[in-house]
Structure 1
């Protein structure tokens, strides 16, 4: 996106639509991880990515979604594409129960990744979001793109782990 029209900089009414693709990953899991996000708005694109030295794939998936939504400075209509059923189900199905049970899951245990879930719920409340699940590695060009971004961010950490024996 040009500097003048990125979703992070544009004052936009909530009727404007931003499409977002996110992905996160870790290798090994847990281990070094990366996340990537692609924001598309009015024919413009913005890429975001980052990594952490010690994390999990689920934390990277959640971080990708949170970072993408935080890049929007005004309330927006959003279609967020994720290949993580954990993210989509957590935000659309499970989170209501977690909040009602004071951040306990159905088994009564503390919700995993509670810090990121709280962050994502807070950010999501600012926007009108449709959460779309896409099958990973199935030919969705933008999903493949954010997967590559997440992998590059992880690799940029420069942490080499020995390969596991088969």
Structure 2
């Protein structure tokens, strides 16, 4: 058998009319129930991890293969750096679409004064830039939802809670100082807006580190030459 593909419209509501989440949060328990299986949320389909359909009746009755939504993808991101309190070191990013996917990204950056938080945002930006390419050149109209998976609370809260407050406060923090990484946050916001205008919803999913190892391994491979996922 194999994975069954269908549009969200076959679940009762066309993807072109479903309401996007204002807070951009992907919360599996609200979709799959409290006892959802984390490993069953996404399934590799070609070059990407597709989002599983929440309706159990759409699974294959013969082999139990999942049903996934066309154009709804999970992209894992991570950023890291080799800086210490005494010495600034290089940083690296990892963007994971799927095992052996040509869309996976590994980049090492030698720009001074790097932090892990900056690298995590750079990984998010790189993922969105790749999504634009995919939307334009590959999946075209089918791509309608991207879920950015990260174990960084900084990325998750930044893109789902903080940016709205910062924008209203002219990108100044509570102390009246410029927001750290404010320019990068604004670049990501602009890229999300561009994708929204192309019909692609962007959501963010916060997981624990052990559930984001594929992206973490990609980022670390930029330093140690480890085999890429």
| TM-score class, shorter | 0.7 to 0.9
In structure 1, C-alpha distance between the alignment counterparts of 2:144 and 2:127, rounded to whole Å = 12
1:86-97 matches, cutoff 5 A: 86-97=154-165
1:25-73, CA deviations, whole angstroms, 9 ceiling, x for partnerless residues?
A: 1112442111100125xx9833111121121101110010110111112
Q: Which runs of 4+ in 1 moved over 4 A?
A: none
- CA displacement at 1:154 relative to structure 2: 3.7
Tell which structure's C-alpha radius of gyration is larger: 2
Point out the more displaced range, 53-62 or 27-36. Answer: 27-36
Aligned residues: 139
- CA displacement at 1:76 relative to structure 2: 3.2
Residue 102 (1) aligns with residue 160 (2): no
**CA contact under 8 A between 2:78 and 2:123: conserved in structure 1?**
yes
Aligned to 2:129: 70
Helix, strand or coil: the match of 1:108?
coil
Q: Please, which of 106, 126, 131 is the counterpart of residue 204 of structure 2?
A: 131
Q: Please, which of 115, 122, 138 is the counterpart of residue 56 of structure 1?
A: 115
Q: Please, which of 13, 27, 38 is the counterpart of residue 82 of structure 2?
A: 27
Point out the more displaced range, 23-32 or 107-116. Answer: 23-32
Q: TM-score, normalised by structure 2?
A: 0.55
RMSD, aligned CA: 2.2
In structure 2, C-alpha distance between the alignment counterparts of 1:65 and 1:76, rounded to whole Å = 18
Structure holding more helix per residue: 2
Aligned to 2:217: 148
Helix, strand or coil: the match of 2:96?
strand
Structure holding more strand per residue: 1
In structure 2, C-alpha distance between the alignment counterparts of 1:76 and 1:110, rounded to whole Å = 34
**CA contact under 8 A between 1:50 and 1:154: conserved in structure 2?**
no
- CA displacement at 1:77 relative to structure 2: 0.3
1:79-90 matches, cutoff 5 A: 79-90=147-158
- CA displacement at 1:101 relative to structure 2: 0.9
**CA contact under 8 A between 1:21 and 1:80: conserved in structure 2?**
yes
Q: TM-score, normalised by structure 1?
A: 0.75
Gaps in structure 2 of 5+ consecutive residues: 1-45, 49-69, 136-142
